[in-house]
Structure 1
Amino acid sequence: MPNNTATAKLAPNQHHLTPEQQDLVDRILTFTTHHLSGEKPAIFTINGDCGTGKSVILSQLFYNLQQAAHEPQNDLAGTQNYFLVNHPEVLKVYQELAGSEPHVLKKDFLRPTSFINQLHKQHRRADVVVIDEAHLLLSQPDHYNNFYGTNQLAEILKLSRVVICVFDFHQVVQTKNYWDEARLNQIVAPYPHETYHLTHQFRMHATPALINWMDAVSQGELLPLPADARTDYDFRVYGDAESLRKAIVARNRQVGLSRVVATTGYPSTLDGGQHYINETGGFHMPWDQYNYTKTPWSEIPETINEVGSIYTCQGFDLNYVGLILSPLLYLDPTDQRIKVDLSKQTNREMLKRRADVTDPAVFNHMKQQIILNTVNVLLKRGIRGVYLYAHDPALRSALLRDYQRLLQSSNP
């Protein structure tokens, strides 16, 4: 089986950076050196869609920073640097890498709240802070997570000399982490800053036309499947969820790292018990459980018997993903667009009210976009293929009709 685990992908000794990626790492290091002694903190943001290599770049960058910090003649010598990520499953991967490379230690990798509280308590500033999945930073207070400020990025800037972070606004999946371009610009405006946009797709072997189709679905638009949808990529649509599950299990036996996932909209409560998804064809599987191990959920063999969610799969590669679109998503017969039925939401934590959004229409749009963002995140997990099933009969029929048309046109 190919070794494309998250740990292997992010290990600096496994990186084969493209010229663009290497140039970006060098550019950020130059930016860091230039602004390290500035009067104000400086921030460098990297924007990019799912699978554009953001985490690989940050992993290599942090490795370079830590090596430079221990070189006496280097401009970065003696710097105290941190790597932050607000996703417990992704954090496990980085901490697993710690110690395998010189000067990269487990204590360097923290959740943002831990970093903020630790440096406040010690009354000091960090030199360089690298933030992966910055779109998961809290943008409002969250007492449950012991964050009492108004915005985590704003707090991190106060505690740092240079901040480097990646953003993907289409991966914002909770209201308490809500970000858009205007909100980010408001935070960074007072500080020296640069931005870089990544566009090349590294994860999926899908054609640009199929990726464009996925982008449209994630915005509620159901375009005709492109003629090359199955070129070098295993794209399928299923009429029942159980057949999809069996196909993913078979793929998992063949190549590993293949999982069934679903968008929110099925019963689920953080009460320690199992909550099942029941679908057509006799499909009956439990949601993913909280993962207390050091191994990422998708790399635990037994999780082939669970349904993954954004909480366990965001930020990770799978070889094949079987995506179930939940009852929240339906095809509107009036305009043939994919809509969100918020009356069927089951994850209250994901869509909690924000005190700073008082217009009901604006908040409703925010919640609908967050649900569509979860489609974007899960639809783009598969390196080799994605298998798709929709709960809504009208959406399922539309997808199946177009898929059958595609198969017939490719096999005249």
Structure 2
Amino acid sequence: MLVYNATKQQFIDDVRANIITDAIENEVARKLNRNSPRNEVTSWENSLRFMMSVLLDEGIPASAGVAIEYNIPLTNRRVDFILTGKNHQRDDSAVIVELKQWQSVEVTKKDAIVRTQLGSGIRETNHPSYQAWSYAALIEDYNETVRSESIRLVPCAYLHNMKQADAINDPFYEHHTRRAPVFISRDAMLLSEFLSQHIKYGDSSNIMYRIEHGVIKPSKNLADALVSMMQGNGEFVMIDDQKLVYETAIDLAHRATNGNKQCLVVKGGPGTGKSVVAINLLVELTSREMMTQYVSRNSAPREVFKKKLTGSRKKTHIDNLFKGSGSYVNAAPDTFHALIVDEAHRLNEKSGMYQNMGESQIKEVILASRFSIFFIDEAQRVTMKDVGTVEEIRRRAEECGADVQELDLVSQFRCNGSDGYLAWLDHALQVRTTANTDLDDIDYDFRVFDDPSALRRAILEKNRTANKARMVAGYCWPWASKKDKQAMDIVFPDHGFAAQWNLDDDGMLWAIADQSVEQIGCIHTCQGLEFDYVGVIIGDDFVIRDGRVVTNAEKRARQDRSVHGYKIMHKNEPAHARALADQIIKNTYRTLMTRGQKGCYVYATDPETRKYFADFVRSRAEVERPVVSEKSGSLNGLNLPIVSREQAEPFERHVPVYDLSIAAGDFSEMQVAEAEHWVELPDFMRASPGLFVSRVVGESMNRRIPNGAWCLFRANPGGTRQGKIVVVQHRSIEDPDHGGSFTVKLYQSEKIEEYGEYVNQRIVLKPQTNAFGYRDIVLEDELEDLKVIGEFLSVL
């Protein structure tokens, strides 16, 4: 997603006219559905004026592109400023500029980490050169268009308020400043020269537009990347808070070798990279010949990791790297250099099969190692025996004489990088009050099903791509198939649905077993793991009554150990028991509903609960109908699943196909209803209201759109059209390819100020072609009659 996009000249004009921050603020509100805090607006006002001054250099072409606040795909991170154009060799280039308001920094002993004033105090954070480089690396990693079309990404940083460069350019950071040079206040002319070196010619090929709408590579899965990571390959670029946690942990591990015990508590929600950082630390500390182990209470992630590593090294070595949390009851003090505890919220008080050994798993880990790190999300405590809290870790560390530090992970990599979905989920489950009260503008595939069989078909369909979609459920059904292999566990006769819990044969490897998609997992077999898509069955332990969540631990199956002891506790302390069970049940569904990187599909056994969740998505589409995967028609060259109007799931799974001339006439609700063909978009594209598919004929746009290509458009686009490829209609247009009064062209406008407002004086519709004979279409009269029908998004 991109907040602002214009030419260099238009950007300069907007800054001079004092409208740049209003334009950005309005687009943030429209596209991100949030208000901009005052400090963010002030930052734009200050930094963008400095960037305008830098861009006044005539060596930087006026037609270079300027992009502001670009959201990196599949994350919640945004790039401050990007300048696009062509370098001296006429290669497409994009210079990424990380802007900082900092006035001074201090050098640390941690790689790529500096200290500076942030908020109310001096804090450690990423060196801006590393930050700029890591953002460029992420874009290149995720965006296949950047790689396949050889778009050069050049990172740098501009600290326009900083007067002294000694610390920020300290030789300790040379590795990073060479990859992404940093410029301070007095380096404004040097920055201009740097930009002109990489952007010699203007952006004549819509570079930022191609990046924004490029093909996105699927997110990496930690388990799949494990073997390569254990071989020392950097499979995941650590950004921002992840890098800080990683470097702090390495520093503390070395400090603890000859000094006091060290303990680091890392708080982070689902998808913030806790396990990625944990595995990277296991690899790095082991390579430094420190005796290190990865520890988790839940065996599912351990067993999956072990399975993935099988064949790459000896079994004894693998088993010695991954341990259960009860392994340290009898360990001698300081046996290990480092113990890395993942999912620390799942730690129990005592160890052993009967929970009768030791005093505290937290204390045992701290005593057994010189350095211990606990990755924790208290909102994922899902049994009554889970004692992992920040307060308890701090208390036990103090008992053991260990120094304690706390850090946070906030960068979001799951749920399509959507903080909004996670905040909405907390609101919907009534875990906490948030501002995200609906799913509007949240880029995550959330669906509600009236039929569990339809949900299963949807998950089966998604699983065909990479075996990374699974069904899970609250533990509300007895595990009958544990003793009788033919018995069904979860049965809904009215819907013809019957399924088994995950088979005992697969054990904790259910999440990656080849034929396990038909089975249903529970919290114990999926916590700590992730899928592309997750289908969640909500049982009667969680229902909605008059808009309020009502939980009932007694609706859980008797085999579920999560609420073991509830009845005795309820007899002695009923209020406490109900409150604890309520928290556990909500946490369970919060955890289940955040296992999907791309989407979460839901079926609730209770009708009122189903309606409650369905109401959140009604603004985007009606509750799901059964999935239709068969093709009901074919359109020459459109190699995607096509269905009829009757079979379509409008704007949830399918978008309409139009003749472009008809669409140009007037994109209306009538047309949507009467569209004969509907097409299913590829997995990496999200269907949403307003999208449509049409064919572009002719050579006038062949540098971007091949003749005859099927393309995805957004109808009636809002916001600025400057520099975008659009479908427009005007009575004065006679398109050279088809003769109609509509055309697909690059839109450029020239504005003048009238009565304090900027209005179009001239609109130029530019072909982007290598063919001879195409000219600009220039409109100067009756511009108010011009209709922008749709915005080009991508070639399919």
Asked if the contact 1:267/1:275 (under 8 Å) is kept, the reply is no
- Given candidates 148, 158, 165, the residue that maps to 2:374 is 165
Question: Is residue 385 of structure 2 the alignment partner of residue 176 of structure 1?
Answer: yes
Does 2:33 correspond to 1:33? no
**Counterpart amino acid of 1:290?**
D
The superposition leaves residues 134-186 of structure 1 with CA deviations (integer Å, 9 ceiling, x where unpaired) of 112112x3542565123201112122211112011111111112333433332
Partner secondary structure for residue 407 of structure 2 = strand
Task: Establish whether residue 382 from structure 1 lines up as the match of residue 620 from structure 2.
Answer: no
Q: Which amino acid aligns with 2:593?
A: L
Q: Is residue 2:245 matched to residue 1:24?
A: yes
8 Å CA contact 1:48–1:199 kept in 2: the answer is yes
Q: Does 1:8 align with 2:224?
A: yes
Inter-partner Cα distance in structure 2 for 1:22 and 1:221: 29
Counterpart Cα distance in 2 of 1:311 and 1:326: 16
Aligned mate of 2:262, from 31, 42, 55: 42
Q: Secondary structure at the match of 2:357?
A: coil
Query: Retained in 1: the 8 A contact 2:295–2:324?
Result: yes
- The question of 1:138 aligning with 2:348 is answered yes
Partner of 2:497: 283
1:126–1:159 contact (8 Å) kept in structure 2: yes
**Counterpart for residue 89 of structure 1:** 300
Aligned mate of 1:332, from 539, 545, 550: 545
* Structure-2 separation of matches of 1:145 and 1:288: 24
The one-character-per-residue Cα deviations of 1:98-151 (angstroms, maximum 9, x if unpaired) are: 88489x93223211223434x25xx76222111111112112x35425651232
- What's the secondary structure of 1:144's corresponding residue? coil
Relative distance call for 1:315 and 1:213 in structure 2 (3 A) is: same
- Higher-Rg structure is 2
SS in 1 for 2:301: helix
Alpha-carbon distance in structure 1 between the residues aligned to 2:529 and 2:516? 14
1:372 to 586, 599, 605: 586
Q: Compute the displacement of 1:209 (Å).
A: 2.3
Q: Which amino acid aligns with 1:192?
A: D
Aligned-residue Cα RMSD (Å) equals 3.0
More strand by share: 2
Counterpart mapping for 1:256-335 below 5 A: 256-268=467-479, 271-273=482-484, 274-279=487-492, 280-292=494-506, 296-333=509-546
Q: Which amino acid aligns with 2:561?
A: E
**Cα distance, 1:127–1:401 mapped onto 2, change above 3 Å:** closer
Q: Quick one: which amino acid aligns to residue 391 of structure 1?
A: T
Distance apart, 1:326 and its partner CA: 0.7
* 1:109 equivalent in alignment to 2:109: no
The answer to which of 268-277 and 234-243 deviates more is: 268-277
Structure number with the bigger relative contact order (C-alpha 8 A, sep ≥ 6) is 1
Query: Does residue 350 of the first structure (1) align with residue 562 of the second (2)?
Result: yes
1:393 to 1:47, Cα distance in 2 relative to 1, 3 A: same
SS of equivalent to 1:83: strand
| 3-state SS of paired residue (1:284) | strand
Alpha-carbon displacement from aligned partner over 1:369-405 (angstroms, at most 9, x marks no partner): 1111111111001111111111111111222233223
Q: Please, which of 607, 618, 626 is the counterpart of residue 404 of structure 1?
A: 618
Distance 1:308 1:277 in 2: 11
Quote the Cα distance in structure 1 between the aligned partners of 2:223 and 2:689: 40
Count the aligned residue pairs.
Answer: 392
Q: Which amino acid is the alignment partner of residue 386 of structure 1?
A: C
Structure 2 counterpart of 1:228: 441
- What per-residue deviation string (whole Å, max 9, x for no partner) do you get for residues 241-264 of structure 1? 111111111111234311111112
Q: TM-score, normalised by structure 2?
A: 0.46
Are 1:113 and 1:147, in contact at CA under 8 Å, matched by a contact in 2? no
Moved more, 339-348 or 60-69: 339-348
Change in 2 beyond 3 A, CA 1:402/1:110: closer
SS in 1 for 2:258: coil
Q: Are the structure 2 counterparts of residues 18 and 220 from structure 1 closer, same or farther at C-alpha, using a change threshold of 3 Å?
A: closer
Kept in 2: contact 1:84–1:112 (CA 8 A): yes
CA gap of 1:272–1:6, structure 2 versus 1, over 3 A, is farther
Asked if 1:240 corresponds to 2:444, the answer is: no
AA at the equivalent of 1:37: N
Shift of 1:213: 0.9
Which moves more between the two structures, 158-167 or 91-100?
Answer: 91-100
- 2:273 is aligned, of 25, 46, 53, to 53
Measure the CA separation in 2 of the matches of 1:270 and 1:221.
Answer: 37
State the distance in 2 between where 1:324 and 1:268 align.
Answer: 16
Instruction: Judge which range, 5-14 or 59-68, deviates more.
Output: 5-14
Aligned to 1:18, the other structure's residue is in SS state: coil
Q: Which moved more, 1:252-261 or 1:180-189?
A: 180-189
Mark the CA change 1:44 to 1:18 in structure 2 (over 3 Å): closer, same or farther: same
Q: Which runs of 5+ in 1 are unaligned?
A: 70-78
Q: Tell me if the contact between 2:427 and 2:437 (Cα under 8 Å) persists in the aligned partners.
A: no
The answer to which of 14-23 and 148-157 deviates more is 14-23
Question: Where do residues 198-217 of structure 1 align in structure 2 (5 Å cutoff)?
Answer: 198-205=409-416, 207-217=418-428
Structure 1 contact 322–388 (Cα < 8 Å) conserved: yes
- Per-residue deviation at 1:299? 1.3
Match of 1:391 among 605, 609, 625: 605
Sequence identity percentage: 24
Amino acid at match of 1:314: Q
> How far 1:201 moved relative to its partner?
1.0
Whole-angstrom CA distance in 2 between matches of 1:292 and 1:240:
27
Give distance in 2, aligned partners of 1:270 and 1:180: 35
Cα separation, 1, equivalents of 2:527 and 2:500: 18
Amino acid across the alignment from 2:409: L
1:63 aligns to 2:273 (yes or no): no
Q: Residues 131 and 154 of structure 1: is their aligned pair in 2 closer, same or farther, counting only changes over 3 Å?
A: same
Cα distance in 2 between the residues matched to 1:372 and 1:166: 20
Counterpart Cα distance in 1 of 2:453 and 2:522: 18
Q: 2:561 and 2:482 mapped to 1: Cα distance? A: 13
Q: Any stretches of 5+ residues in structure 2 without a counterpart?
A: 1-216, 623-650, 652-687, 691-796
Report the counterpart of residue 75 of structure 1 in structure 2: none
Whole-Å Cα distance in 2 between the matches of residues 254 and 247 of structure 1? Answer: 12
CA contact (8 A) 2:242 2:411 kept: no
Deviation per residue, 1:341-387 (Å, 9 max, x gap): 22312144111238999633223211211111111111001111111
CA offsets 1:274-323 (integer angstroms, 9 cap, x no match): 55112352221111123556x83211121111011111111111111111
Instruction: Label 1:208 to 1:84 Cα distance change in 2 as closer, same or farther (>3 A).
Output: closer
Residue 267 of structure 2 aligns to a residue in which SS?
strand
**Offset, 1:61:** 0.9
Aligned to 2:724: none
| Contact 1:113–1:145 under 8 Å retained in 2 | no
**Matches of 1:244 and 1:29, distance apart in 2:** 45
The whole-number CA distance in structure 1 between the counterparts of 2:607 and 2:689 is: 26
The 1:255–1:8 alpha-carbon spacing in structure 2 relative to 1, beyond 3 Å, is closer
User: Conserved in 1, the CA contact under 8 Å of 2:439 and 2:617?
Assistant: no
